[in-house]
Amino acid sequence: MKDKLPLYSSVDFPLYMLLTTVILLVGTYLLSAYLHKTLASTIFSILLVSVFILLLTYTNNQENLAAKEIVLNEPSNDSVYRQTINEFRRAVENNDAEHLYELVDLNYEDEVYWTEKEAQDLIDYFKESSMLLNQQIRLLEDSVSYIELLEERNVEVYPDKEKRIPYAAMFDGFVFLQQDGQLSVNVIKHTIRKNIVSDDDFDELILTYKDTDKEFVFQRSTLEENAYKNHNNEEVVEVMYVGLGNYVIDVQLITGDTVKEAEVLIDLTDEYMTTKLDRKNEEMMGISFK
């Protein structure tokens, strides 16, 4: 990582100029006792304008140096991080879901469901707002300084041999950079409440993710056995981990010959741009049977 440029002037420069101005004013006042008042007034005006110009020049130079400093803190054009960021932007701007899917590393701690269809969901969401895409690019660029600092200090974020990606992202955003420069997508855990229904004698609870091959079947006993308390102290059961996208889940509750149905929509929202440590990136399905 490149060091920041030092400012060309000391932070005491404005104080120095203030003291200089006071001295000039006092000197002009003393001169006025010996010179014609008009001449003294002219000298005073010239000195005051000169001080103002010096202060203005100092301020502009400070702003220019600060701007150069920001540029130097951005990842270099030939860095692996910049290449990944550029590839991500290109995939979104070209509406290329296949390229975005291939760009994302899915080597998580366990299975994560995310396909080209969800990559397209992500692209569509970014295409709705150029501001959101620019925000995501800025988040990726800002994360590079931290990653490079870890490299300087020889700190590995994921020190295990398999280099599996933790579910909780290090950085905000729909997508984030890994230490090796690869791109990953934010992961959400879908859950259901253990006491999703009050009836203890139902036969099966079936969750079918539309347009996928994912189907989950629960009995009352399996809900009891796999329940745990989440961050809100609610008893829930894990369904699966998914990458960000739009999901439609068809739900069936079967009791004998009776079938109750519901549909759950879990869509992309801006709130997923921020890693919610208190929520543990969990999305509990709100199921209401017809």
Q: Which of 171-180, 199-208, 268-277 has the lowest mean pLDDT?
A: 268-277
* pLDDT recorded at residue 109: 86
Q: Is pLDDT at 94 greater than 90 in this prediction? A: yes
On whether the CB atoms of residues 117 and 211 are closer than 8 A, the answer is yes
* pLDDT recorded at residue 153: 83
3-state secondary structure of 187: strand
* pLDDT recorded at residue 57: 64
pLDDT bracket for residue 20 (50, 70, 90): low
In angstroms, the Cα distances linking 22 to 28, 45, 52, 152 are 10, 14, 13, 48
Strands 183-185 and 187-193 turn out to be unpaired
**How confident is the model over 241-273, as pLDDT tens digits?**
999 999 999 999 999 999 999 999 999 988 887
Given its phi and psi angles, is residue 164 left (phi above 0), alpha (psi -120 to 50 degrees) or beta? beta
The pLDDT of 68-86, averaged and rounded, is 67
* pLDDT recorded at residue 7: 40
DSSP 251: E
On whether the CB atoms of residues 126 and 136 are closer than 8 A, the answer is yes
* pLDDT recorded at residue 289: 87
Angle, helices 130-152/116-127, rounded to nearest 10 degrees: 110
In angstroms, the Cα distances linking 70 to 9, 65, 75, 282 are 18, 9, 10, 35
pLDDT bracket for residue 156 (50, 70, 90): confident
**How confident is the model over 176-199, as pLDDT tens digits?**
999 889 999 999 999 999 988 766
The pLDDT of 47-62, averaged and rounded, is 64
Q: Which of 65-79, 251-265, 267-281 has the lowest mean pLDDT?
A: 65-79
Q: Which of 128-142, 152-166, 214-228 has the lowest mean pLDDT?
A: 152-166
- The rounded mean pLDDT for the chain is 80
Is the whole-model pTM more than 0.75?
no
Q: Dihedrals φ, ψ of 282, to 5°?
A: -110, 140
* pLDDT recorded at residue 2: 37
Cβ-proximal residues to 157 (8 Å cutoff; 6+ apart), any chain: 150, 170, 178, 179
Q: If 0-12 CB within 10 Å is exposed, 13-18 middle and 19+ buried, where does residue 273 land?
A: middle
Q: Is pLDDT at 23 greater than 70 in this prediction? A: no
Rounded Cα gap, residues 235 and 224, in angstroms: 9
Which one, of 114, 130, 260, lies nearest residue 198 by Cα?
260
